[in-house]
Structure 1
Amino acid sequence: MFFTPSQHDVRRFFCETYRKTTDNVILTPLEAIARDWIVQHPEYAPDFENVEEAIARDYSVENGQTNPFLHLSMHLSIAEQISIDQPPGIRAAFQNLARRLDSEHEAHHRIMECLGQMLWKSQRTNSPPDAAEYIESINRIGS
């Protein structure tokens, strides 16, 4: 069974995690990981303060807006991939890139570009994501 939260579910999750963090409430393990990324992106704090506004807001690429919910979701996905080394080799590729950049956060951002490209290509060609190509692209930017 797949976990497929809606856009509203994702936005509620981050807003609730933000609220619990600011109220110093105990977090679930997933919320604790999300909190760590929320803290590293203080520029997004206003986006998390009102759940209804967050749900209604349209983050348009055409207007040059970064979607903080998508951005943090990608951080969570990459953190999970690294923690379980899936796809195989992601952990080593991440560690090499983080060492080269002297920043785990910046390494995540570079990996996001590779992840986005892989997903875009998969959707465009209507084929499964190519994990080997994904790892290869991370290794290329890490060398």
Structure 2
Amino acid sequence: MFNPTREQVRQFFCGAWRKHVERLPLDGAEVTAADLIAEHPEYHALLLRPEEAQEKEFTPDGGQTNPFLHLSLHLAIAEQISIDQPPGILAAYQALRQRLDVHDAEHAIMECLGEALWRAQRSGGTLDGMQYLECVRRAAG
């Protein structure tokens, strides 16, 4: 299992955005990452300052969303949908898309994923894929 460090995640997103801005070829997940970043203009300036991005702390009491966590969750959801894992996530996503645009549908799934990750962390266990999928299905209505 790939388990990148905080520094590697930040380098990945900063690098993907730099390549996109400079119109350089993107490899693999960088294509998806650049597309996701394009949907988040509030992150563009930070991602073009990798030194600052590496050092910046995003704490709950600071009131800022961690752009690297946010983008990582988007990337995870895009991957889940592309391979239908957990099984049924693609159909649930398609149901969400009946009433929401792509970005809003991903954000609805992100709420469920965040809750599932929080539960797994709190219990010291693994993510409950069925509970996660049920949450997404409920969001789809």
* Structure 1 Cα separation of the partners of residues 120 and 18 of structure 2: 35
Letter in 2 for 1:36: D
Q: Deviations over 1:110-129 (max 9, x none)?
A: 11110010010011111211
Alignment partner of 1:135 is 2:130: no
Aligned length: 141
Determine the structure 2 residue equivalent to 1:90: 89
Letter in 2 for 1:54: A
Letter in 1 for 2:92: A
Determine the structure 2 residue equivalent to 1:39: 38
Letter in 2 for 1:73: S
Determine the structure 2 residue equivalent to 1:18: 17
Q: Deviations over 1:25-83 (max 9, x none)?
A: 00002100101101111111011011111010001111210111111111100000000
The answer for unaligned runs of 5 or more in structure 1 is none
Q: Give, in angstroms, the shift of residue 99 of structure 1.
A: 1.3
Local SS of the residue matching 2:99: helix
Structure 1 contact 115–134 (Cα < 8 Å) conserved:
yes
Structure 1 contact 96–142 (Cα < 8 Å) conserved:
yes
Determine the structure 1 residue equivalent to 2:117: 119
Give % identity: 49
Determine the structure 2 residue equivalent to 1:71: 70
Local SS of the residue matching 2:9: helix
Alignment partner of 1:50 is 2:53: no
* Structure 1 Cα separation of the partners of residues 39 and 99 of structure 2: 20
The answer for unaligned runs of 5 or more in structure 2 is none
* Structure 1 Cα separation of the partners of residues 19 and 11 of structure 2: 12
Structure 1 contact 47–68 (Cα < 8 Å) conserved:
no
* Structure 1 Cα separation of the partners of residues 63 and 108 of structure 2: 19
Q: Let me know the Cα RMSD of the aligned residues.
A: 0.8
Letter in 2 for 1:106: D
Local SS of the residue matching 2:131: helix
Q: Give, in angstroms, the shift of residue 100 of structure 1.
A: 2.0
Normalising by structure 2, report the TM-score: 0.97
* Structure 2 Cα separation of the partners of residues 10 and 16 of structure 1: 10
Normalising by structure 1, report the TM-score: 0.96
